[in-house]
Structure 1
Amino acid sequence: MAYKAPVRDFTFILNEVLEIDRYTNQPGFQDVSSDLVDQILEEGAKFADEVIAPINNPGDKEGCHWAEGGVVTGPKGWKEAYKAMSEAGWIALAADPAYGGQGMPSVVASAFGQMTAGASAAFSMYPGLTAGAYAGIHANASDELKQKYLPKMATGEWSGTMNLTEPQCGTDLGLVRTKAVPNGDGSYSITGQKIWISAGEHDFADNIIHTVLARVEGAVPGIKGLSLFVVPKYLVNEDGSLGERNTLECAGLEHKMGIH
C-alpha cells in the first residue's frame, strides 16, 4: 500500500489541539495563520506522497554504494529527490530568515518532517541531520561561522551531520577520544574515528558540514571537556566558494535494517 500523508490528523493537531492561531503574539508566529499552515501541510503531503514515498522501497533494496577513497553514492533517484526538496524550499521551512530561511515555527516543520519520515525514514535522515547540525551552529557558533555555513545549509545546497558516537562508546559521550589540537590560527587539527554517522557521506549536496564532538588537547576528562567543531567535507574559502577536499574519509557503510 502506498504511503498517504495524514493531512487531516496534522491539521486537527495544529488547529484544534495546539490552536496555532492563538500564538500570533509570539516570535515566529506573527505571520502564520491556520489557513497558511493548512496550505503548507497540503503541499508537503503531495511532496511526501509523490516524490519521497516512491523511492523508499527501491532505495531500501539497493542501498548506498561505497567505493575506495570513501566515495558514497545514493540509490537511484535519491539525489534528484533531495535536489527537488531543496529547490522547493522544504529544507528552509523553519530556518532563520537572516540566513535565507522561511522562519516557520518549528512545530510546522516538525509536521512536514513526520510526513517525510513516514514516506521514507531513511531519506528523512538527510534533511533531518542537516537540521540538527544547522541548529547547533545557529545556537552556539560565532557570527563568522554562522555567515559562512548557515545560508547554504538552510537551502540544502550543503547538508550536515552530527558526529558523536565512537567505537568504544555509545551513549556515554564522556568516553570520546577524538582529539583536537590548536593550529595557532583559530583552527584545529582533529584526529579520531566516528561511527553510525547518518548522512555522513553522499553525493546529494555540494558540501557536507560535519559537527564533531572532540576533546581539545589537555581538556578535563568526561563530558565537560568536550567541544563541538565544524568540519566541512570541503574547506570553505573566504569568499564562500569551495576549496580543497578535507582529509576526513568515510571508511565504510553501516548495514541497518530498513534504513539503508
Structure 2
Amino acid sequence: MSAPFAAQLLGWKKLKKNGNPVPNSADSSSTPSKALAIAILEHLGVEPEVILSGTPKDLGPALERAVQADLEKALPETDPSRTWQIDHKKVVADFAQDAHLGSLKKVVRKNPVLSADLGFDYLIRPDVTVGIELDSPSAESNPFLHAAVSCKWTIRSDRVQNIRHEFLQMIRHRRGRLPHLVTVTAEPMPSRIAAIARGTGEVDAVYHIAFAALKEAVEAVGSGQQKDDLAECVSQGRLRPYEELAPTLATW
C-alpha cells in the first residue's frame, strides 16, 4: 500500500552533471540514499532507469498539491458529518485559533519597534491546512484549524528546522485547541526521517507516501542503523503510512 499519488510522483531523473539516471527521491551524493530509493521504486514496480516524462520536475509543490487534492476527496468520504475546508498555503490567521494574529499584524505594521522585535514569523502559511466549519450564528466566524500539514519531498537539516520553527510558532500563538501538526514526505532514509520524527512534540507524526515500500527497502538494503531508526520511529508511532492520515484526521 502507498499513497494513491505515489506512483505519479516517485520515479527517475537525470543528473545534470553526467546525465545518469537516479531516483528522484534520492540524495544523489549519498550511496545509501540512492540504494534505498532504488529499492523503493522496485517495490512500486517502476522500471529501472526509465525516465518518466510525466513525473513533475518541481516535486515539493507537486507533493503539496497531491496531498491537498487527496484530502479534499478522502475526508468528506471518511466523515461526511463535518464540513471540511482543505487549502494550500492559507495563512493561520484565517482560522479561529489564530484570528487574533490578523489584528496583531495591523498593530505591528504601524509600530517600528514591534515590527523589529516580532517580525512576521507568526503569520505561518502551512503547505496544506485542514479546516472545519464551526456551527456559529455569525456568518463571519472563521473555520477551526483541525490540521496543518508540512509537505517535504525529502528531509534535510534545514528543512527539519523550518518545520519545527513553523509548528512551534503555531503552538505558541494559538488560542484554543492545538491542531494536528504533521509532516508528509517521500524521504528514503530512516535516519533523516528520524531527525524530524524524534523531538519534543512540535510534530505529531510523519506520514510516508510509500511506507510499505520503504519498509521493504530498508529490510533489503538498509544498514543496521537504518533498520534501527525505522523500527524506533514506527514502534513509537512517529512514522506512519500516508494511508492513515485521512482516517486519523476524521476520527480525531
Q: TM-score range by the shorter chain?
A: under 0.3
TM-score between the two structures when normalised by the length of structure 2: 0.25
The structure, 1 or 2, with the larger RCO (C-alpha pairs under 8 Å, 6+ apart) is 2
- Looking at secondary structure, tell me which structure has more helix per residue: 2
